A and B are shown apart, each in its own frame.
Chain A
Amino acid sequence: MSDSSFVRTQMLPPEVPPLTERGLVRWMRENLFSSVLNTVLTLAGLAFVIYAVAATLPWFLNGVWNAKDIKECREIVLANAGPEATGACWALIRERWHQFLFGFYPADLYWRPVLALGLLLVSLAPLLYYSMRRANLILVGTVSVLTLIALALLAPGAALLVLFAGLFAALTAVAWYAPQKLVWLTLAFPLLAFALLWGGSVWGPIGVAAGFGILALVYSLTKSFLGVVVATGAGVVAAAVWWLMVQTSVTTALHGAIPLGIQAVNSDQFGGFLLAFVIGVTAIGASLPIGILLALGRRSDMMLIKTLCVGFIEFVRGVPLITVLFVATLLLGYFLPPQSNFDLILRVIILVTFFSAAYLAEVIRGGLAALPKGQYEAADALGLDYWQAQRLIIMPQALKVSIPGIVSSFIGLFKDTTLVAFVGLMDPLKGVTTIVRADVAWKGIYWEPYIFVGAIFFAVCFGMSRYSMYLERKLKTDHR
């Protein structure tokens, strides 16, 4: 049939694609200059970036770290870069960094918030990476080393330092051998942090812990014949009676008998990022469970519970946070008996928690609504009761769906802590910046404190956001 005289017996090596179809050129052609409009937009964007960098980079490069006031900063910039140049005056941060971080917290006690932060990160490990030995070890080990370095720089004394080194070594060992066991630290952390940050007699936090013990005791004793809800209620009532009526006299007596404690620090000395973290972490930790309960209550068939939850959520969501904060400081000031000293930070934490819980409830309700009805029916068919079904089937799926929304709420909440400046608390952004700028030596400085505070906020929020993306990937079980 065929009388071809030439048949190729082996494949030719592939030709190198033409220049416009490979490497950087191709990528740029496809992504940056694929059409006239894209080309124009690319050039405009490039021009903007060049302009922005050219405008700000010299300012950063001319920055001055060593000066005693803004005048000296200006003189150094003038001497180094000539009369037309501008330069940042980071000397302000160098002199006042401790107020941005700790507010008016006594300087010789800075090790206490640093230790609390270290313990916070360690106690987060089991929550973030439950029973993942490697991740736990890396996180706890890194945190331990960094915390110990920070503590050593703050020089609280050799004996304490050895104690902390032992503590963190032990925690790292626990993270390696039994990562789940770190949960006990997580549970104890709120009281531990309170005892560290506020100080005072150790019996106060122990008394609070005893209240939780009473709650657990009453619950486990009555659960079998009262049911989950009523038993929890009875436990809460018993604990409230203990906290409100009995605890103070008992702890006072105990303190009288065995006076054990560390130097007390008053709430009004809290400020800067210490304050933002205290409010943010507490409100984040407390608002998630409350938000879950509110979301479940809103979907409940029980008329009274549903009405209460809907009323609470809609009322709180209808009111701006700043109003809630003013209520915390002003109205409560009128309603409480004069001279009663209900801590302002505590008032703010409680109201911020409620505020954030209402938003979380709606986020979680979205997750619940996304579940197919079959999941609920499957739980019923298995013979699970309401709480078992929620715990084992509904919530794991609903929360997974809600992760992006929940983390967004948390990030928003953390940044909203700066609003406490309006009620006279010293938040890092406005509170500390105002007092620093009011100093004669630094008056006239504008961007530097904002950039410093913004960088720290960015690091924290970016971390939260990356973790949420990691968690989404890890929990991804579908095949979409």
Chain B
Amino acid sequence: MKKTMFLGTLAATTVLAGAAFAGTLDDVKARGELLCGANPGLTGFAAPDANGEYQGFDAALCKAIAAAVLGDATKVKFVPLSSEVRFTALASGEVDVLVRNSTATYSRDNDLKLDFPVINYYDGQGFMVKKDLGVSSAKELDGATVCIQTGTTTELNLADFFKHNNITYTPVTVQDDSEAQRNYLAGSCDAFTTDASGLAAVRSSFPDPENHIILPEIISKEPLGPAVRHGDNQWGDVVRWTYNALLIAEEKGITKANLAEVEASSTDPEVRRLLGLEGDMGVMLGLDNAAFKNAILANGNYGEIFEATIGTSTPIGLARGLNALWTQGGLQYAAPFR
């Protein structure tokens, strides 16, 4: 995940400007469109298809938020942001929410004055090597050449990891994923390191994925989540609870397909509150009572989104792992909906 320190200072100088954005929810409603900062192209997470429609795991969350706030999942405008400008674009109000595989960190939270209301994907940095290298653990990579993207936190993590384990390596710095992939396949480096989700996506694109292994060590925590401006708590709550609604829907077995049926038959009070059949839950947040139902209808629940975009049924083939529900040994845990 790239770092943007110089932009951080820039953002910090304009903290006061944050006051001007206090009512993001009202702005979005007045505009009738959600401005969602997106990655211009990250396999499985966000990328426009042949028709120019953004698809992917992050894009689906944007659509769900738009559905919750505006009642229509198509009323979202994706603003492609490079990693250099993403936080500034958020701070200056060019986008309402940034769903761009951004790692939540202390300094981004406090120095850049952002809030990460939820973590929608728990990632971590890993290594990929060719099988015939005969390595089964990252700690055996002493003296290896490692392909690494420049200017990213992954670069710093890598240095930390090797130093900590008292082994040496030679970095081969590259600009982006596809270049790393070329270097790695051409044999310029023994190992390729980036976020584990990225490794899986890269490996899936190889002609011979079976000859490459992803080593078991995960050397960093990369909690990726949507970011909003600090100080607009209501808008942060909208993002958090839209996301939570998708998690609860998975927990309760509500899918896009069976939602109408569940709505008609369910007697579970939490489900009825979630779908807006009981209580005034949506109105409490300044939304419609059907908001969370619409969010689920947009792309299905969290599990459905995961499976459709990056899960084992796709070429990327990521297992749920840490991103399984808490009931299945993962970390995805939503506060109760009451």
Interface of A toward B, CB cutoff 8 Å: 70, 74, 95-96, 99, 103-104, 107, 268-269, 326, 329-330, 333-334, 338-339, 421-424, 426, 431, 434-440, 443-446
Contacts and interface: CB of A to CB of B under 8 A. Distances in A.
Contact of A422 (B84, B176, B202): B84
> Which of A95, A99, A333, A435 lies at the interface centre, i.e. has the most chain B CB atoms within 10 A of its CB?
A435
Contacts of B182: 446
Given A268-B79, A444-B205, A444-B206, A334 B85 contact: no
A401 to B, nearest CB: 40
A440 B204 contact: yes
Contacts of B50: 95-96, 99, 439
A435 B49 CA distance: 8
B7 A439 contact: no
26 contacts: A70-B205, A95-B50, A326-B85, A329-B85, A330-B7, A333-B92, A333-B94, A334-B10, A334-B17, A334-B92, A424-B40, A424-B79, A424-B81, A424-B85, A424-B89, A426-B40, A431-B40, A434-B176, A438-B46, A439-B47, A440-B43, A440-B315, A443-B202, A444-B178, A444-B205, A446-B178
A437 B41 contact: yes
Contact of B41 (A70, A268, A329, A438): A438
> Which of A104, A423, A440 lies at the interface centre, i.e. has the most chain B CB atoms within 10 A of its CB?
A440
B178 A424 contact: no
B89 A333 contact: yes
Nearest to A322: B84
B205 A423 contact: no
A329 B87 CA distance: 12
A361 to B, nearest CB: 30
Contact of A439 (B49, B93, B178, B181): B49
Contacts of A437: 41, 177-178
Interface string B299-320: 0000000000000001110000
A440 B43 CA distance: 6
Contact of B80 (A96, A107, A333, A424): A424
Contacts of A70: 205
A232 B44 CA distance: 56
Contacts, number: 99
The secondary-structure label for the interface of chain A is: helix
Nearest to A336: B92
Nearest to B205: A444
Contacts of A435: 40-41, 47-48, 80
B201 interface: yes
A328 to B, nearest CB: 11
Nearest to A103: B52
Interface residues of B, number: 46
A421 to B, nearest CB: 8
A443 B40 contact: no
Contact of A333 (B88, B176, B178, B205): B88
Contacts of B10: 330, 334
B196 to A, nearest CB: 16
Nearest to A340: B93
B5 interface: no
Nearest to A422: B82
Contacts of A423: 82, 85
B170 interface: no
Contacts of A104: 48, 52
A424 B35 CA distance: 14
Contacts of B21: 338
B149 to A, nearest CB: 14
Contacts of A421: 82
Contacts of B174: none
B24 to A, nearest CB: 11
> Which of B10, B44, B52, B82 lies at the interface centre, i.e. has the most chain A CB atoms within 10 A of its CB?
B52
B36 to A, nearest CB: 12
Contacts of B88: 330, 333
Given A334-B14, A438-B47, A444-B206, 5 more contacts: A338-B20, A424-B79, A424-B81, A426-B40, A443-B204
A443 B48 contact: no
Closest 7 CB pairs of A and B: A438-B41, A444-B205, A438-B47, A104-B52, A443-B205, A333-B92, A434-B41
Interface in B25-79: 27, 39-44, 46-52, 77, 79
Contact of B82 (A424, A436, A444, A446): A424
B239 to A, nearest CB: 20
Contact of A440 (B17, B44, B77): B44
A330 B41 contact: no
Contacts of B81: 424
B143 interface: no
B17 A338 contact: yes
A439 B51 CA distance: 12
A344 to B, nearest CB: 9
B336 interface: no
A436 B21 CA distance: 34
Contacts of B85: 326, 329-330, 423-424
Contacts of A330: 7, 10, 85, 88, 92
A253 B273 CA distance: 49
Nearest to B51: A107
A434 B40 contact: yes
B207 interface: yes
A101 B80 CA distance: 18
A335 to B, nearest CB: 10
Nearest to B56: A438
Contacts of B177: 437
Contacts of A438: 39-43, 46-47
A334 B85 CA distance: 13
A439 B43 contact: yes
A439 to B, nearest CB: 6
A33 B131 CA distance: 51
